[in-house]
C-alpha cells in the first residue's frame, strides 16, 4: 500500500508575483514551511541549561533573538521561546530537545503550521513598516537581534531585526493573516513604484 504525502501549500503562494514586483528598495519573499517549535521552561533551570547545551546557544533574554546558528531562537515571553529551523527538522529537533530535557520540567510543541515567515530587505523596509507599525525601527532603539511581538496594520506579528538600519527584517505572521498582510505590504509600497525607490 502506497501512502501519499499530502501536498503542502504556502499561505502566500498566490502572492509570489505581486511580492516580487515591489519597488527596488523593498524586497519581500516568503520563507514557507520553516520548522517552528514553542519551548516553555523556566530561565536558568536545569531544563534551560540542558537545552542551551544541546543547541550550543544561550537562550536570549527579553525582546531579543539569537540568529547566528541553524536554529534561530526568538524570545516570546518570560518563559517562552520560538525555535525556528529549516524545513523538515521538526521531528529530529523535538526528539533532540526532549532527550536533552529528560525528566526536567519543560514543554516542546511543534507549531510549524501556525505561521509563515516573510523576509524583508532593502532601504525602504523601515519607511514602509512605519506606515502600519508603532515600533521605532531606528537602529539605536531596535538594534540587530531585536525581537518584538507587535501589530502591523492591525495584524499580530513577531518582528525580528536581522540587518543594520532595519534593512533586513523577518515578519512571522499567523497563516490566517498572511494574505491580509501581503495585501497591506503591496498597497503600502504603491507610492514608491516607478520612482527611484
Closest to 173 in 3D by CA, of 196, 150, 193 = 150
Q: 119 and 188: one domain?
A: yes
Q: 121 and 146: one domain?
A: yes
Number of domains making up the chain: 2
**pLDDT grade, residue 163 (50/70/90)?**
confident
Distance CA 56, CA 18 (A): 39
Residue found by looking up cell 513598516 in the block: 129
Residue 92 in grid coordinates? 529530529
pTM over 0.85: yes
User: Could you list the residue range(s) of the whole structural domain that residue 134 is in?
Assistant: 13-32+114-192
The torsion region of residue 102 among left (phi > 0), alpha (psi -120 to 50) and beta comes to left
Average pLDDT of 47-61? 97
Residue 42 lies in a domain: yes
Residue 162 lies in a domain: yes
Q: 62 and 132: one domain?
A: no
Domain with 140 in it: what CATH number? Answer: 3.30.1360.120
Residue 131 lies in a domain: yes
Q: Which of 52, 77, 110 is the endpoint of a domain?
A: 110
Q: Is the pLDDT assigned to residue 83 strictly greater than 60?
A: yes
CB 63 within 8 A of CB 81: no
Residue found by looking up cell 533551570 in the block: 45
Count other Cβ atoms within 10 Å, centred on residue 43.
14
Distance CA 120, CA 185 (A): 10
Residue 192 in grid coordinates? 514608491
Q: Is the pLDDT assigned to residue 177 strictly greater than 60?
A: yes
Give percent above pLDDT 90 in the chain. Answer: 80
Give percent above pLDDT 70 in the chain. Answer: 94
**pLDDT grade, residue 5 (50/70/90)?**
low
Q: 57 and 17: one domain?
A: no
Q: Which of 89, 110, 131 is the endpoint of a domain?
A: 110
Amino acid at each position: 500500500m502506497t501512502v501519499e504525502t499530502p501536498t503542502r501549500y504556502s499561505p502566500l503562494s498566490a502572492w509570489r508575483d505581486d511580492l516580487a514586483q515591489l519597488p527596488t528598495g523593498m524586497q519581500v519573499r516568503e520563507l514557507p514551511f520553516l520548522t517552528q517549535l514553542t519551548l516553555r521552561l523556566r530561565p536558568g533551570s536545569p531544563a534551560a541549561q540542558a537545552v542551551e547545551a544541546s543547541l550550543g546557544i544561550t537562550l536570549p533574554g527579553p525582546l531579543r533573538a539569537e540568529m547566528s546558528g541553524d536554529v534561530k531562537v526568538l524570545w516570546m515571553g518570560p518563559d517562552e521561546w520560538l525555535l525556528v529551523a529549516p524545513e523538515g527538522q521538526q521531528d529530529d529537533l523535538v526528539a533532540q530537545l526532549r532527550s536533552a530535557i529528560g525528566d526536567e520540567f519543560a514543554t516542546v510543541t511543534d507549531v510549524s503550521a501556525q505561521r509563515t515567515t516573510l523576509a524583508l530587505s532593502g532601504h525602504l523596509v523601515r519607511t514602509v513598516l512605519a506606515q502600519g507599525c508603532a515600533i521605532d525601527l531606528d537602529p539605536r532603539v531596535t538594534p540587530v537581534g531585536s525581537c518584538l511581538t507587535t501589530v502591523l496594520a492591525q495584524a499580530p506579528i513577531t518582528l525580528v531585526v536581522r540587518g543594520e538600519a532595519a534593512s533586513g527584517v523577518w515578519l512571522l505572521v499567523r497563516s490566517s493573516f498572511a494574505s491580509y498582510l501581503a495585501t497591506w505590504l503591496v498597497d503600502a509600497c504603491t507610492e514608491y513604484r516607478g520612482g527611484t525607490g
